[in-house]
Chains A and B, each alone.
Chain A
């Protein structure tokens, strides 16, 4: 852009300066021609005139150019260069032409010899204009250069000013990038008046989001408490009742307990799923040692397995390479769901085996039971939560799938050789 502007400026300046220099040159030549013309005197039928050598010298001083002249009476040349191209410019008082290989400027002055006579004395004075053209180009180039430099300085100043003006906005952007996903505290950095409204709007949005999230969390916590506590009371009373009622009523109470437990499990899973969705929005991620995580889950679930007299065996949990970059809480829930489910389905006195290993840059968590296995028709299909909701894992599968999907992981379920189910949960190793 700057180059285009500079070329335009050069071109325009050159034209103006050239014109101005030419007008000056024309005036000088006109003066010289007029002096020759004024000195012309008719004596005894012949015309005498003086050549103004001083004026020629002045011209020569003003520019190092060649000077030509010619004096005509009618079409007859009286003195000077007879090949001056006057014929081509008969009517012009000044003109430019290529004369003897050089660009030359000519001026014509004339006056009548006698009043009423059509015969006139014409003086043509010419001067080459090479130095004028050079001068004009130089002036134009300097002006263009000055314009170029001015524009460049102006652009630099504009850039610096813009940077300075945008500095607070860039600082706010950096603040927003660096803050954690659940940080909705207002921006408190001092900002210039131009961006105050932007910051106020951002702070208002933060405030609204914080309010919504808090409301959501409070609702989940309250709903959980309100739903689970009465279910807990029902379950416990039913368990105590089971011990007290007659043998024939016991199976009905048992049925009540099973249904209450199922309702309880579904409630827990439903609320957990909502929690995981919320956590996904937060994007809480960290380096998670999956071996240590599984060891901790096994400790938590051991009493549950003990009640069923099911063994809980963890293999190879010590390796330090088993690191996944993810949400610790979500990973914990997904793996807990798989193991809990395996305990549910494992027959008494059998083992649930949990293995963690590195498998081609992926961390593989394998949970195996000796339960009834799963319907072979479902194997190989994409798992459909709705289709399987009443089956093997309830909403647990939906939770595991959700966590796998949000961690670019994969869940594979297969039947084990010798009976039972094998669930493999794979995540990219960190």
Chain B
């Protein structure tokens, strides 16, 4: 992802930049509102998500947030705030933030929220793989029911991908396990069952079932209309 990090606290910004770049995101850094506005005006089409601190030395981060929303561009905004008052958070969502992270936060949560914010601003593509009533976009890894995007977690998405790769046939449990965790990652033996159960719950309202083939694996089935 191409990111713009707007954060004035040097220690925090350094640590965040290091983490984001290690995670493979191309990240620009602005330590003031004016610098952030400079980045935004010169490269507004480039960013997927802006990580925006609210308390900046030369103004409020909401000023930039309003400019981003006024542009109408599909850019996600994840606000970083040290404020504890929920009214402030509700206000931030009202003025167009996609999500907020209250300082201090853990990096895993930052990653999870970045993914969720990014997903929100992906437009439904023209070319998708149809699975029953659902449409899967392999490029952006999103699943759609009509114009509504299903909110699948990372592991659930991987599982769904593993199931549709079987192309209507049964996907072996070992294959799904490797697809989810890779060969060198530890996971408990019932992890697949748990994720299948969660995914089953999310797909059921859309006419898709995951059938258990005892002793072998799982099969994705389109429920027949009675």
Contacts and interface: CB of A to CB of B under 8 A. Distances in A.
Interface stretch (A87-95, A146-154, A198-206, A304-312): A304-312
Given A236-B16, A306-B154, A268 B116 contact: no
Given A229-B82, A233-B15, A275-B84, A307 B106 contact: yes
Contacts of B141: none
Contacts, number: 102
Main secondary structure of the interface of B (DSSP, over half): helix
A232 B12 contact: yes
A349 B190 contact: yes
A235 interface: yes
Interface in B182-224: 188, 190-191, 194, 198, 201
B104 A260 contact: yes
Given A260-B104, A307-B108, A307-B112, A233 B12 contact: yes
A233, A268, A303, A350 interface centre (most CB from chain B within 10 Å): A303
Interface in B1-45: 9, 11-12, 15-16, 18-19
Nearest to B90: A329
A306 B115 CA distance: 12
A303 B11 contact: no
Interface string B37-55: 0000000000000000001
B11 to A, nearest CB: 4
Contact of B84 (A220, A231, A233, A307): A220
B103 A229 contact: yes
B113 interface: yes
B94 interface: no
Nearest to B156: A306
B86 interface: yes
B86 A225 contact: no
A303 B113 contact: yes
B46 to A, nearest CB: 25
A234 B12 CA distance: 8
B149 interface: no
Nearest to A232: B104
Contacts of A348: 188
Nearest to A236: B15
Contact of B85 (A220, A257, A309, A351): A220
A306 B15 contact: no
Contacts of B83: 221, 224-225
Interface string A221-253: 100110011111111110110000000000000
A377 B206 CA distance: 46
A332 interface: yes
Contacts of A240: 15, 18-19, 107
A355 interface: no
A224 B12 contact: no
Contact of B103 (A228, A272, A299, A332): A228
Given A220-B84, A236-B15, A240-B19, A231 B106 contact: no
A329 B85 CA distance: 9
A304 B102 CA distance: 12
Nearest to B193: A349
B188 A239 contact: no
B128 interface: no
Given A220-B84, A272-B84, A348-B188, A228 B153 contact: no
A176 interface: no
A280 interface: no
A264 interface: yes
Contact of B151 (A232, A261, A302, A349): A302
A271 interface: yes
Contacts of A41: none
A405 interface: no
B104 A271 contact: no
A58 interface: no
A230 B87 CA distance: 23
A313 interface: yes
B183 to A, nearest CB: 19
Nearest to A257: B106
A233, A236, A304, A306 interface centre (most CB from chain B within 10 Å): A236
A333 interface: yes
Given A220-B85, A303-B112, A228 B154 contact: no
A236 B116 contact: no
Interface string A262-292: 0010001001100100000000000000000
Contacts of B85: 220-221, 275, 329
Contacts of B19: 236, 239-240
Interface of B: 9, 11-12, 15-16, 18-19, 55, 82-87, 90, 99, 102-109, 112-113, 115-116, 151, 153-155, 188, 190-191, 194, 198, 201
Given A236-B11, A260-B104, 14 more contacts: A224-B83, A228-B84, A228-B104, A229-B9, A230-B11, A233-B11, A237-B11, A239-B106, A240-B18, A240-B107, A271-B84, A303-B109, A307-B106, A307-B109
Q: Report the 4 A-B pairs with minimum CB-CB distance, sorted nearest first.
A: A303-B112, A232-B104, A233-B11, A236-B15
24 contacts: A228-B84, A228-B103, A228-B104, A229-B9, A229-B82, A232-B104, A232-B105, A233-B12, A236-B19, A236-B104, A237-B11, A240-B15, A264-B104, A275-B84, A275-B85, A302-B151, A303-B109, A303-B113, A306-B154, A307-B109, A311-B194, A311-B198, A348-B188, A349-B190
